[in-house]
Amino acid sequence: MKRFLIAAALVAVAVGLVVGLRRWIHHAQLELVPVLVMPGADAHAVVDPPPSAIATRMMLDARELVTRPSRPRLAVLTFDDGPYPVETPALADELARLHVPADFFLIGRDALQQPAIAHRLASSGNETGNHSMTHPEMSTLAYDAQRAEIDAGAVAVNATTGQRVAYFRPPHGNYDENTIKAALDLGETVALWNDDPGDWRTLSPDAIAKLAADQARAPVVILLHDGKDATIDALPAIVAEFRSAGYRFVTLSELQKDVPVDEINDPIRVSL
């Protein structure tokens, strides 16, 4: 009986170690999902990190448990989709009232339909980025089709806003190696996020604000969506909560000026 208990205990320890290791590996893989992918990056390694990168990330996780890194409390509000004739001006008005800049990832087709609104966003202290021309599922397209979508979107956004397009965000956040490669080949930085309150769902303003706060990082890039009244109503609470925790709101390009990309891609969790 004693031998059986010892054997059972050893099996339990072994199982625990295996489960713990697998969770650690999974966590490392999630942490390797970048916020910014810069031109010159290896698109394949971004989509399918090699074992060496996962091992390095695991060691970094262990080191950060002992010595917590320091990161500036900077926040970027990003809005996907649009511009729309009603919601986008209301969103721009609320941001101006709150004295907060933002990054708008515009759909090229919609920017061409609403050029005055697109131009207003850019002339009001906001930054405009590329969200493709027609908002397709990028990963279902071949490289040439993806490149054409990204290129046409950038041309449309540039034409309507007068701003040079520096950032591309894939629709729905869905991408494959060809998406990353096409954007980088066109000289655009792929911009993702590290805080997703899920405002694309039917949520109340309070729920959106709470989910944004619960996922806080430093620095933080928050994914939100244009065309959502609840998102506009949630903004005062989001801004107030982050500001009370010592955050300053900036654009993506301002974030890049203040923080190395490696640190943007390795934010720390923050409790607000």
DSSP label at 195?
Answer: B
Q: Model-level pTM?
A: 0.86
Q: Is-contact 251 103, C-beta < 8 A?
A: yes
pLDDT one-digit tens code per residue, 16-69: 443 343 454 444 445 557 889 999 988 988 888 777 666 766 676 666 666 777
80, 81, 151, 266: which is the annotated catalytic residue?
Answer: 80
Which amino acid type is present at position 128?
A: T
> Of all helices (H) and strands (E), which one includes residue 103?
strand 103-106
User: In whole angstroms, how large is the CA radius of gyration of the chain?
Assistant: 21
Q: What is the pLDDT along the chain (272 residues), one digit of tens a residue?
A: 666 555 444 444 443 443 343 454 444 445 557 889 999 988 988 888 777 666 766 676 666 666 777 889 999 999 999 999 999 999 999 999 999 999 999 999 999 999 999 999 999 999 999 999 999 999 999 999 999 999 999 999 999 999 999 999 999 999 999 999 999 999 999 999 999 999 999 899 999 999 999 999 999 999 999 999 999 999 999 999 999 999 999 999 999 999 999 899 989 889 88
CA 208 – CA 199 distance, rounded (Å): 6
pLDDT one-digit tens code per residue, 197-218: 999 998 999 999 999 999 999 9
At 138, is the secondary structure helix, strand, or coil? helix
User: Cβ of 93: how many Cβ atoms within 10 Å?
Assistant: 12
**Active site annotation includes 135:** no
**Residues contacting residue 208 through CB under 8 Å, at least 6 positions apart:** 197, 198, 199, 224, 230, 231, 234, 238
**Active site annotation includes 80:** yes
DSSP label at 266?
Answer: S
110, 225, 226, 266: which is the annotated catalytic residue?
Answer: 225
Q: Which domains does the chain have, with CATH numbers?
A: 74-269 (3.20.20.370)
